[in-house]
Chain A
Amino acid sequence: MSAAQPLVEIRDLYAEMVTFDGVSKVLNGVNLTIHKGDLLGLVGETGCGKSVTAMTIPRLVPQPPARYTSGEVWFRGENMLSKGGEELRHIRAQHLGVVFQDPMTGLNPVFTVEQQMVDAILNRENHLGSASFPRGWLPSNRERKRQARERAVQLLRRVGIPEPEKRISAYPHQFSGGMRQRVLIAMAISGRPELLIADEPTTALDVSVQAQILRLIAELVREIDLTVLLITHNIGVVAQLCNRIAVMYAGNVVESGLTRDVLRAPKHPYTQGLLRAIPSEEIERGELVGVAGTVPSLLNPPPGCRFAPRCGFAMDKCREAFPPTVSVAPEHDVACVLYPEAVQVSP
């Protein structure tokens, strides 16, 4: 375990969403830590808050309707919740990279890939102003643009776009979904960010392409010293790719730690249920196991541990307050009352 300061530390984050139907308590005290060099898989069902959690780091969650009621989000030793405006933009440009789920709509359809990539690259170097009219015509700026274009071609080659010098002048609609996602990844890493946040980057792609993209991300982790926060609902992906995993349920991280530890010996009832639900060769035909019950409404969440209503082990203590997170092994934390002997890590 690295004694150095973690790259990302989310402490006790509470967030709400104001909707027409009421206030949805989306995040209920999320604790998450990411160390440099990690490839962390954040898993959970739709609506559990994983995207909100991850997107809080670059502050891409639109603030109405969202509100952060308490907690801290530390990135590179700075509290991201207090950042705004120019500072925030700077951090996004220089230290962060984000890849979203749907590549089909992520690129501006009326600009070429070259234009968009050059913009991204120059912006990260803080020279975007000089790219545009009229200063763009100055020789020094033209040189910059030329260099940016070269870098863009290199990046495209790295992410696996064939014939990048030619393809770069094309428009987004001339690329397939998988190719577009690669372009978006290239744009995201163009500034050598410290953290790459990938929100279900392959969900919208074909299965064969999925594998390629994920492999690309794994390679990048090694090559450019990238730390990755990967959001997915597919535990299989996490098992293959991520060295760490964090499981979320209804606004809380219920279990986290090294992937092999968590998957081999899950401690939280929810995680156990999830893993049991994955069909494998050992299960008899006709026997599909799910997790009983349904996800609670976040407008009126159950008190205490939000999994309690569905949990086979629930006790009265569970409904009083959300269980503190305890460490059942080095690099393996759980938020459950089932392990009272463990060392408490956070409230």
Chain B
Amino acid sequence: MATAPALKPPNPSAFARWRADHASQITDLRRGVYRFTRNRLSVIGLLLVIILIIIAITAPLWIPYPEDVTGSVNMAQRLVEPSALHLFGTDDAGRDVFSRTIMATRTSFAVGVIILTVAITIGVTLGSIAGYFGGVTNQVIMRLTDIMLTFPGIFLALAISAALGRGIINATLALSVTWWPGYCRLVEAQMLKMREEDFVAGARAIGASNRRVIFRHILPNLLTAIIIKASMDFGFAVLSLAALGFIGIGVLPPEPDWGSMISAGRRFIPDSWWYSTFPGLFMFVTVLAFNLLGDGLRDLLDPNSTVR
């Protein structure tokens, strides 16, 4: 393995110093990458995710019928079967299902990122406070978390969303509220463990303030757990958003959304089966990709998971 050089060159560059300091972590990372690439499914997931992100970002540039995405109506082309012109067929207003499906990817990804960001922010903050300070603060926060976790996820999102009304902002809000308890609990548990570890006492001994201890010393260790959970949650966040759209309390028409497209297409099955089928298929592949990637990341990063 890497052995320390007997003589150091004078004034090693900052990068070399950083590399030396983090040598063991770099090794771990390389080892992890090696393991990751051995797992075919994870690699497939990664590739798909990259492709999908590229699709999502570049979509407006190349979708065949950009005008169909927002509200143009073309009754002459109503409910046309899938063909070379319309890969996924057209819907009941003559709009190209393919273009709308692709554009819905953008919305879903954006919302997914927002939901998780908000949820993580709230959850991590509350969890850190609860875990670090303990006592009454802990009890209050964790009981609240418990209550919210008693509610099966989708149920809660539906309830809040239904109450707040339709629209993508409300849906995003509702979903964020559903997700933060998971992170709160995760962080609190880790925090409790870490609080007792020696390096915290060490930092305190040199006079670090509470806040500093939390942010500089403890959080980086939690990062792995959070990343794992977030990568697994992303797929579900997208699914939940679509579910809300399906019921009719998410994205508003004529914005494209997988859920509302599937729902709208129900009226026309079985004759115009493509209307409901293709958006769902695309959504399935998307969620699958993220879940494969997330599963692979979990195997990679989770210290508790089995090592080869």
Q: List the interface of chain A (C-beta within 8 A of B).
A: 20-21
The answer to whether the Cβ of B34 comes within 8 Å of any Cβ in the partner chain is yes
**Complex interface: chain A residues within 8 A of B31 (CB):** 20
With the chains together, A345 CA to B201 CA distance in Å? 61
Chain B contact residues, majority secondary structure? helix
Q: How far is the CA of A203 from the CA of B34 in the complex (A)?
A: 35
Chain B residues within 8 Å of chain A by Cβ, number: 3
Residues in chain B near residue A21, CB distance under 8 A: 1
Chain A residues whose C-beta falls within 8 Å of the C-beta of B1 in the assembled complex: 21
Contact sample, A vs B, 3 pairs, CB 8 Å cutoff: A20-B31, A20-B34, A21-B1
**Smallest distance from the beta carbon of A70 to chain B beta carbons, Å?**
26
Q: Which residues of chain A have C-beta atoms less than 8 A from B34's C-beta?
A: 20
From A21, which residue of chain B is reached at the shortest CB distance? B1
- Interchain CA distance A20-B33 in the complex, whole Å: 12
Alpha-carbon separation in the docked complex, A21 to B28 (Å): 12
Chain B 27-39 interface mask (CB, 8 Å, partner A; 1/0): 0000100100000
Q: Which residue of A lies closest to B3 (CB)?
A: A297
Query: In whole Å, how far is B28's beta carbon from the nearest beta carbon of chain A?
Result: 11
A21 to B1 Cα, complex, angstroms: 7
Q: How far is the CA of A21 from the CA of B24 in the complex (A)?
A: 13
Those 3 A-B pairs whose CB atoms lie nearest each other, nearest first: A21-B1, A20-B31, A20-B34
Interchain CA distance A20-B1 in the complex, whole Å: 10
Alpha-carbon gap, A284 to B1, bound state (A): 39
Smallest distance from the beta carbon of A24 to chain B beta carbons, Å? 11
Q: Which of B210-261 contact A (CB under 8 A)?
A: none
CB distance from B54 to the nearest CB of A (A): 32
Q: Output the least CB separation between B183 and chain A (Å).
A: 33
User: How far does the alpha carbon of A21 sit from the alpha carbon of B34 in the complex, in Å?
Assistant: 11
Least Cβ–Cβ distance between B33 and chain A, in angstroms: 11
Beta-carbon contacts of B19-52 to A below 8 Å, as 1s and 0s? 0000000000001001000000000000000000
Complex: how many Å from CA A21 to CA B30? 11
Q: How far is the CB of B299 from chain A (nearest CB, A)?
A: 16
| A21 CA to B2 CA, complexed, in Å | 10
